[in-house]
Amino acid sequence: MLSRIISAILLAASGAFALAQEGPASGAPAAASNSGPEQPIPLSHKLHAGTMSLRCQTCHTPSPSGEAFRIPQAPVCMQCHQTVATDRPAIQELAGYAQSKTPIPWVRIYELQSFVTFSHKAHLDHGATCEQCHGAVASRDRLSKESDLSMKWCVECHTAKQAPNDCNTCHALEQ
């Protein structure tokens, strides 16, 4: 039922689907709605999260533990796009990924160093929002890195929110 509701909303808003994509993936916070790396399939977060008010978790499903959120792959997208905007070349390409069971080679925007331990679940459970780290996603046609996610940045946030700041909070140190 939810899938049909989402499909109806997507169909109504499909005229607003944004196709423009270009720009660097790193550096200073994005000011423009169309900055960010070119992705293999154009995706407007402004349309999906903004106009249509889809929650992040609708497409970025949590892992079973909730510690990580997945970058969506074609089967998730095709839950709506099997009936919405099917005449669009980008959606036809998306359907090709789904049909061939080939992962979409998304260009990552954020990726933490391997020595950093991060739990989306812990942050969300303590009141953090996606926007606090990922920026104003719902107003962006394309995403770019809006927070540097450096140790300094994280420590400043933890300090401001009176969250733990000891080394073991973010780094799995051997005992």
Does residue 172 lie within any of the structural domains?
no
Does residue 162 lie within any of the structural domains?
no
pLDDT tens string 10-48 = 333 333 332 222 233 333 444 445 688 999 999 999 999
Query: Which residues neighbour 55 within 8 Å (Cβ) at sequence distance 6 or greater?
Result: 49
115 burial (CB, 10 Å; 0-12 / 13-18 / 19+) is exposed
Does residue 31 lie within any of the structural domains?
yes
Q: Rounded to an integer, what distance in angstroms lies between the CA atom of residue 55 and that of residue 130?
A: 10
Give, rounded to a whole angstrom, the gap between the first and last alpha carbons of the chain.
50
pLDDT tens string 102-124 = 999 999 999 999 899 999 999 99
Does residue 80 lie within any of the structural domains?
yes
Please give the backbone phi and psi of residue 113, each rounded to the nearest 5 degrees, phi first: -65, 150
Does residue 46 lie within any of the structural domains?
yes
Q: Rounded to an integer, what distance in angstroms lies between the CA atom of residue 106 and that of residue 66?
A: 21
Angle in degrees, CA 119, 41, 68, rounded to 5: 10
pTM for the whole thing?
0.75
Inform me whether the pLDDT recorded for 174 exceeds 90: no
Four-residue CA torsion sign, 83, 20, 51, 28: positive
Does residue 155 lie within any of the structural domains?
no
Q: Rounded to an integer, what distance in angstroms lies between the CA atom of residue 3 and that of residue 173?
A: 43
Instruction: Tell me how many domains the chain contains.
Output: 1
Does residue 8 lie within any of the structural domains?
yes
Does residue 99 lie within any of the structural domains?
yes
Reading the block at residue 125, the tokens are 């459970």
Give the residue numbers spanning the domain of 17. Answer: 2-113+135-147
